Amino acid sequence: MDSILNFFVRQKKLALVFTVSVIAIGLLALSSIQRDQFPAVDFEVMSISTAYPGASPEDVEQNVTNLIEDELSNISGIEKFVSVSREGRSSITVTLSQDVSDIDTLKQDIRNAVNRIKSLPAEVTNLPNVRDQKTSRKSIIKISIGAPDLSYAELRKITDNIADSLELVDGVSEVVKDGYLDREIQIRINPNKLYQHKLSLPQIIDSIAKRNARYTVGQNHSERDEKIIVVLAKFDQAESVGDVIIKSTFQGPIVRLKDIAQIESGNVEEKSIIRVNGKKGFILRVRKQAQADVITTVDLVKEKITDLNSKYDNQLQIFYSSDMSKYVRNRLKIVTNNGMMGLLLVLIVLGAFLSFKTAFWVAVSLPVSLLGTVALLGASGETINLVSLAAMILVLGIVVDDSIIVAESIHHHKQRGEDRFESATRGFKHVIMPVITTILTTILAFSSMFLMGGTMGKFIYV
């Protein structure tokens, strides 16, 4: 050990080159490393959601949830699944086993199993939505949009345009719209007229269902081409619904739906209420791409929103919430401020009690350690996130303490008349074991966190 220590102590240029290299590489990595709100963690949990409009919780469970659960029960590697059947929607949360070696294959098996289900009710027009639960799917910012001088339809159209524009922003993967009410044609049957024409509700429902259809009737072959003939008869206006014939006989008049019911266009029943400054509004939840920088992406989104609001004469009321870039900025600011404050205090205190040269080299340990950490994070494909920044804040004080201990020991030996090489060697050897013991004690104190399971364990391990 003495020979190795003597070699590095006497290689002044090597130490200088190493220090400058670490700082340079760290600065280069700092300019390109991805900043994110959380580490890239796969929770090994999948969610399956299915829309079944108008169905009761019992019907949802029997006709949708049970079918999906039967398929899932045949797949090995699933630890458990929990289902919730509510009015109009089935939700199933699938937890994967920790012992599975190929998680991606298991996830694909689950998707294939769900897609194999062919006996879902006709009202289930969209396939069940199977999604991974990952940190990358968390929204990075929520945008509340309102306009007191615009109608619901006008504001909705503008919000649609804004959402489409935001999806084209660099780094944005998806924009989820909340507060939207789907359009529907509402039919209010008059019971007296129903009785007068001797009709029943099942007759009316059957007549509407037969008329509201889209189907292929055949093919038309010619010498030059071949065409598929499709009948498009799905309703899009209330007037066309009113013309549906409910009853027609040779003895009596033709009874149309508009003769026995009030028909109008409207919106589905509001399940959740969203208000912006007391008026109906919308919320856009922006999700970023997995490799996108959270701060850069949020800045681009806000810049785009400002441009779009100017396009609409600033008549929109726009508010931002759940801005995850704000938390990352704050942690970065804390690390920077702590580093600068520590640097200044080390220079002042050690310069006053020891020497300016000693204070300078202790202060250098701060940027070297922080920028070295950034370089290692970038090289390993990790990100600067809330967890890694919290670790930097914690370790910052430890680095300064250990640097001061070693520097003071070297300064003490130098004060005794030893030359600079001998004082550096002896001073370092004198305190190296206590310093190593201190570091190991800190590591052991936090090592138990690596044994944690579940979601928190995944964050700590990363």
Partners of 266 in the beta sheet?
A: 184
Q: Does residue 152 sit in helix, strand or coil?
A: helix
Decide if pLDDT at 232 tops 50.
no
Superfamily (CATH H level) for 2-32+326-461: Multidrug efflux transporter AcrB transmembrane domain (1.20.1640.10)
Confidence of residue 228 (pLDDT cuts 50, 70, 90): low
What are the domain boundaries of the chain? 2-32+326-461, 42-134, 183-267
Q: Does residue 44 sit in helix, strand or coil?
A: strand
Helical ranges in 197-321 per DSSP H: 201-211, 238-242, 257-260, 294-311
More confident residue, 363 or 461: 363
Partners of 276 in the beta sheet?
A: 279
pLDDT at residue 265, as a whole number: 73
More confident residue, 304 or 148: 304
pLDDT at residue 415, as a whole number: 81
Is CATH 2.40.30.10 the classification given to domain 183-267? no
Over residues 285-299, the mean pLDDT reads 89
- As a whole number, the mean pLDDT across the chain is 82
Highest averaged pLDDT of the listed ranges 110-124, 187-201, 233-247: 110-124
pLDDT at residue 226, as a whole number: 59
- The model's pLDDT over 381-437, given as tens digits with 9 standing for 90+, comes to 888 888 888 888 888 888 888 888 888 888 888 888 888 788 888 888 888 888 889
pLDDT at residue 225, as a whole number: 62
Confidence of residue 286 (pLDDT cuts 50, 70, 90): very high
* Alpha carbon distance 354, 211 (integer Å): 93
Over residues 229-233, the mean pLDDT reads 49
Looking at 9-18, 265-274, 351-360, 376-385, which range is the least confident one? 265-274
Task: Find the farthest-apart pair of alpha carbons in the chain and give their distance in angstroms, rounded.
Answer: 126
The CATH number corresponding to 42-134 among 3.40.50.11540, 3.30.70.1430, 1.10.1200.10, 3.20.20.70 equals 3.30.70.1430
Decide if pLDDT at 97 tops 90.
no
Report angle CA 168, 173, 176 to the nearest 5 degrees.
95
Over residues 206-225, the mean pLDDT reads 63
pLDDT at residue 231, as a whole number: 47
- Kindly provide the b/e burial profile for residues 147-186, where b requires at least 16 CB atoms within 10 angstroms of the residue's own CB: beebeeeebbebbeebbebbeebebbeebeeebeeeeebe
